[in-house]
């Protein structure tokens, strides 16, 4: 089946303005007759909940943390893009659009990406008005920097804590609406299912994580703003609680899952040290503005470094390979993430990696310290350096940092049309939870932009159109569909609670992660993927026989929470592998060894794969059905990405 993304007709630059004008409006006096459910209060969810409440809708918002301020968005470090052209360096809406389409390896929807670039300009204004303390220059104007994959300085930042400051801005807007009584906030509540009535999403089922109470909530529309699923790999830069449950349960109720195999691997993370490790820590990509990436030229030198027989400083200049600067002179260390990651892995694969495990390359600040002085470097990156010292016990002012790629962001997610509506009418997906704007690879500083764009500036318009069409008549929780869905959730919880095997859910999760990283990570082959599929199926069967879940539902029960999430990750893992198998081309962070150029770069196949893969759930243990949304490019020419 061919899917309709509902991108409006007409010239690219006019699509969104014209479309907004054509959308149906809800009369201001009628807005209070509508109830909206927002699941997730990260950047996407908090901005959406606040904006919708301001408009006059009644909002119920949910998150699993103890406070909306703790959503995973808080961890974003580097910055947020906007086509302000404050630096007069040639930036424009079209250039941001173009960079994003190209950076995504032509696997994103043109209409959405252009809208994102247009709206980016308003986001900064909005955040500044809320009191977000962005970095300033001495004259009082906003400061900008450049970020991986871009040749202009369009990134706004707040030291290394941009995500925290943006989230606190959105959180304060949300607080204002909570105080005004327009948002009712439910913290420590986990959404476990979507209630569908006559084909439309009309509510959700939640579990109170303190009492275990399973409850239903009704609304005219449901917005999922539940973030990404990078934790399917077990180790990732995501917060421990980030999970796929909300999106996956919605998928099982009919929402298509798009491009699940598109995972972004971030090049600058602190390498793994041991099996005890629970997560990986990202070092902001902004470090690549001044840090130079290198590996030793020979395997012999690498081995000496691994065994600590010599230090990095003892490696002579001519024995160092600044491989990014050598291969991509125009971008140097600022090549996009997928390119930087793949090249680092190549070094390690050739035996030229450093550190005890050999799974790392250097990010060296010696030149920057010589050029700028240690104080300037400290002022720019001090908090990141401190974090590195804390974790590794090594001092990057004295010796180069060790970095290695790690799973960071997922470009796949619930399929949505131009309105951000999933294939279930009335169910929307915003932020990292949807698939829409980044194609096969996300550029730095564009996820924050998308989350806030969706929440502040897109959904307030597109949701109104749907609400106006369905009218204010309520469906309430007495409808039998609510009792039925609640029962399904209870059955699932009881099934988990009854598992009294020998393996912890953490052990299953780690095993799944190993399979995913090995076979569905940075490089993939047909053979490996087929093998992974079998392994995941076996893991799933074993989970439902041998997992241990302790305690009962009616209490604080982390092992139950985790069990439910790991079970969903296992199922998602299988779909990711299916998706990767089907896509016999390389694009973005998805590198199929069978599809590369003679120089070893990712080789796309536009003839056969210029589409969004939207998977449809067909029942437990049934193969999923592939629906395709053809991607049409009117404004840009598809060309091979080339950063040389």
Partner 1 sequence: MSGNMNLTLKVWRQKDANSQGKMVTYPAKDISPDMSFLEMLDVVNEGLIHKGEDPIHFDHDCREGICGMCSLYINGHPHGPKRAITTCQLHMRSFKDGETITIEPWRAAAFPVIKDLAVDRSAFDRIQQAGGYISVNTGGVPDANATLIPKVVADEAFNSATCIGCGACVAACKNASAMLFVSAKITQLGLLPQGQPERYRRAQSMVAQMDAEGFGSCTNTGACEAECPKEISLTNISRMNNDYLSAKLFREEELHHSSGE
Ligand X SMILES: Cc1cc2nc3c(=O)[nH]c(=O)nc-3n(C[C@H](O)[C@H](O)[C@H](O)COP(=O)(O)OP(=O)(O)OC[C@H]3O[C@@H](n4cnc5c(N)ncnc54)[C@H](O)[C@@H]3O)c2cc1C
The footprint of ligand X (CB under 6 A) covers: 39-45, 62-65, 71-73, 75-80, 162-163, 190-191, 225-228, 237-238, 242-243, 245-246, 282, 408-409, 431-433, 445-448, 451
Residue 265, CA atoms < 13 Å, CB-side half-sphere: 28
The site partner of 267 among ligand X, partner 1, none (C-beta below 5 to 8 Å per kind) is none
The site partner of 229 among partner 1, ligand X, none (C-beta below 5 to 8 Å per kind) is none
Between 109 and 159, name the residue whose CB sits nearer to partner 1. 159
Site for partner 1 in 65-94 (CB under 8 A): 65-70, 72, 74-75, 84, 86
Site for partner 1 in 222-261 (CB under 8 A): 239-241
Q: Which of 555, 608, 632, 644 binds partner 1 (CB under 8 A)?
A: 555
The site partner of 240 among ligand X, partner 1, none (C-beta below 5 to 8 Å per kind) is partner 1
| 348 vs 7: CA distance, rounded Å | 43
Of 362, 359, 350, nearest to 313 by C-alpha is 362
- Give the shortest CB-146-to-ligand X separation in angstroms: 13
**Backbone conformation region of residue 621, classed left if phi is above 0, alpha if psi is from -120 to 50, else beta:** left
What is the CA angle 284-286-291, rounded to 5?
A: 100
Strand (E) or helix (H) holding 218:
strand 214-218
- Give the shortest CB-240-to-partner 1 separation in angstroms: 6
How many helices and strands in the chain, by DSSP H and E?
A: 18, 23
The site partner of 448 among ligand X, partner 1, none (C-beta below 5 to 8 Å per kind) is ligand X
**Burial degree of 138 (CB within 10 A; 0-12, 13-18, 19+):** exposed
Site for partner 1 in 443-472 (CB under 8 A): 456-457, 460
| 252 vs 232: CA distance, rounded Å | 17
Residue 134 interacts with partner 1 (CB under 8 A): yes or no: yes
Site for partner 1 in 23-52 (CB under 8 A): 47, 50-51
- Give the shortest CB-298-to-ligand X separation in angstroms: 34
* Size of the residue set binding partner 1 (CB under 8 A): 79
Q: Which of 145, 176, 200, 320 binds partner 1 (CB under 8 A)?
A: 176
- Give the shortest CB-127-to-ligand X separation in angstroms: 13
The site partner of 151 among partner 1, ligand X, none (C-beta below 5 to 8 Å per kind) is none
Considering only the stretches 10-18, 170-178, 370-378, 407-415, report the one whose residues sit in contact with partner 1 under the rule CB under 8 A: 170-178
Residue 136 interacts with partner 1 (CB under 8 A): yes or no: yes
**Burial degree of 284 (CB within 10 A; 0-12, 13-18, 19+):** buried
- Which structure tokens are listed for 340? 């930087």
Compute, in degrees rounded to 10, the torsion defined by CA atoms 553, 558, 560, 566: 160
Between 286 and 627, name the residue whose CB sits nearer to ligand X. 286
Q: Is residue 48 a contact partner of residue 437, using CB atoms and an 8 Å limit?
A: no
The site partner of 365 among partner 1, ligand X, none (C-beta below 5 to 8 Å per kind) is none
Q: Which of 278, 478, 498, 622 binds partner 1 (CB under 8 A)?
A: 278
For tokens 């929470």, what's the residue?
A: 561
Marked catalytic residue, from 337, 352, 402, 592: 337
Residue 378 interacts with partner 1 (CB under 8 A): yes or no: no
Distances 617 to 164, 256, 362, 488, 496 between C-alpha atoms, Å:
36, 7, 44, 17, 22
Q: Is residue 569 a contact partner of residue 520, using CB atoms and an 8 Å limit?
A: no
With b for 16 or more beta-carbon neighbours within 10 A and e for fewer, the 340-366 pattern comes to bbbbbbbbbeeebbbbeebbbbbbbbb
Residue 224, CA atoms < 13 Å, CB-side half-sphere: 42
Between 85 and 434, name the residue whose CB sits nearer to ligand X. 434
Between 432 and 629, name the residue whose CB sits nearer to ligand X. 432
The side-by-side arrangement of strands in the sheet containing 361-364 is 263-269, 401-410, 361-364, 292-296, 320-321
- Give the shortest CB-432-to-partner 1 separation in angstroms: 15
| 422 vs 415: CA distance, rounded Å | 6
Q: Where are the beta strands (DSSP E) in 44-170?
A: 58-62, 80-81, 155-156
The site partner of 187 among partner 1, ligand X, none (C-beta below 5 to 8 Å per kind) is partner 1
3-state secondary structure 226-245: CCCCHHHHCCCCCCCCCCCH
Between 445 and 529, name the residue whose CB sits nearer to ligand X. 445
- Give the shortest CB-542-to-partner 1 separation in angstroms: 16
Site for partner 1 in 178-207 (CB under 8 A): 178-179, 185, 187
Give me the residue whose beta carbon is nearest to ligand X. Answer: 42
Q: Is residue 489 a contact partner of residue 497, using CB atoms and an 8 Å limit?
A: no
The site partner of 210 among ligand X, partner 1, none (C-beta below 5 to 8 Å per kind) is partner 1
Q: Which of 313, 391, 483, 541 binds partner 1 (CB under 8 A)?
A: 391
Between 3 and 250, name the residue whose CB sits nearer to ligand X. 250
Between 81 and 586, name the residue whose CB sits nearer to ligand X. 81
Q: Is residue 34 a contact partner of residue 467, using CB atoms and an 8 Å limit?
A: yes
154 is catalytic: no
- Give the shortest CB-302-to-ligand X separation in angstroms: 28
Catalytically active residues are 337
């Amino acid at each position: 089946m061919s899917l309709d993304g509902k991108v409006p007709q007409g010239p690219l630059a006019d699509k969104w303005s014209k479309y907004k004008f054509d959308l149906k409006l809800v009369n201001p006096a009628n807005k209070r007759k509508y109830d909206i459910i927002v699941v997730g209060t990260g950047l996407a969810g908090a901005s959406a909940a606040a904006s919708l409440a301001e408009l006059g809708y009644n909002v119920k918002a949910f998150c699993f943390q103890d406070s909306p301020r703790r959503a995973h968005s808080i961890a974003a470090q580097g910055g947020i893009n906007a086509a302000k052209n404050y630096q007069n360096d040639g930036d424009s809406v079209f250039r941001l659009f173009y960079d994003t389409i190209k950076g995504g390896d032509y696997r994103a929807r043109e209409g959405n990406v252009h809208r994102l670039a247009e709206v980016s300009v308003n986001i900064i204004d909005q955040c500044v008005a809320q009191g977000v303390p962005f970095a300033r220059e001495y004259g009082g104007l906003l400061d900008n920097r450049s970020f991986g994959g871009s040749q202009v300085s369009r990134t706004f930042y707040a030291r290394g804590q941009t995500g925290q400051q943006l989230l606190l801005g959105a959180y304060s807007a949300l607080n204002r609406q909570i105080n005004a009584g327009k948002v009712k906030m439910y913290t420590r509540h986990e959404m476990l299912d979507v209630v569908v009535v006559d084909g439309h999403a009309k509510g959700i089922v939640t579990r109170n994580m303190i009492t275990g109470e399973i409850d239903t909530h009704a609304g005219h529309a449901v917005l999922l703003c539940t973030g990404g699923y990078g934790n399917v790999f077990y180790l990732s830069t995501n917060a421990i609680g980030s999970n796929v449950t909300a999106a996956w349960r919605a998928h099982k109720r009919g929402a298509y899952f798009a491009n699940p195999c598109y995972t972004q691997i971030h090049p600058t993370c602190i390498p793994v040290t041991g099996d005890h490790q629970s997560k990986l820590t990202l070092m902001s990509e902004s470090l690549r503005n001044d840090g130079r990436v290198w590996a030793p030229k020979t395997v012999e030198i690498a081995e000496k470094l691994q065994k600590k027989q010599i230090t990095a400083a003892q490696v002579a200049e001519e024995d160092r390979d600044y491989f990014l600067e050598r291969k991509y002179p125009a971008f140097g260390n600022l090549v996009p993430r997928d390119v930087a990651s793949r090249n680092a892995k190549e070094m390690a694969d050739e035996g030229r990696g450093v550190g005890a495990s050999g799974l790392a390359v250097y990010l060296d600040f010696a030149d920057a310290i010589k050029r700028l002085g240690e104080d300037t470097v400290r002022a720019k990156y001090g908090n990141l350096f401190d974090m590195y010292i804390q974790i590794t016990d090594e001092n990057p002012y004295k010796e180069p940092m060790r970095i290695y790629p790690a799973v960071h962001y997922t470009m796949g997610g619930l399929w949505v049309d131009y309105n951000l509506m999933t294939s279930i009418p009335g169910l929307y997906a915003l932020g990292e939870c949807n698939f829409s704007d980044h194609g096969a690879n996300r550029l730095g500083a564009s996820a924050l932009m998308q989350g806030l764009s969706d929440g502040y500036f897109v959904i307030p318009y597109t949701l109104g159109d749907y609400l106006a069409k369905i009218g204010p008549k309520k469906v309430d929780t007495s409808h039998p569909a609510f009792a039925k869905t609640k029962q399904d959730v209870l059955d699932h919880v009881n099934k988990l609670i009854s598992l009294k095997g020998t393996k912890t859910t953490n052990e299953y999760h780690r095993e799944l992660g190993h399979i995913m990283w090995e076979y569905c990570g940075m490089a993939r082959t047909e053979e490996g993927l087929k093998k992974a599929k079998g392994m995941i199926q076996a893991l799933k069967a074993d989970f439902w026989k041998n997992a241990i879940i302790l305690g009962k539902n009616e209490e604080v029960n982390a092992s139950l929470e985790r069990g439910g999430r790991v079970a969903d990750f296992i199922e998602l893992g299988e779909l990711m592998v299916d998706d990767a198998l089907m896509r016999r081309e390389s694009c973005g962070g998805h590198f199929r060894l069978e599809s590369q150029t003679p120089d070893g770069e990712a080789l796309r196949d536009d003839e056969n794969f210029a589409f969004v893969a939207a998977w449809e759930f067909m029942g437990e243990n049934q193969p999923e059905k592939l629906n395709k949304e053809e991607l049409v490019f009117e404004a840009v020419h598809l060309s091979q990405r080339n950063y040389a």
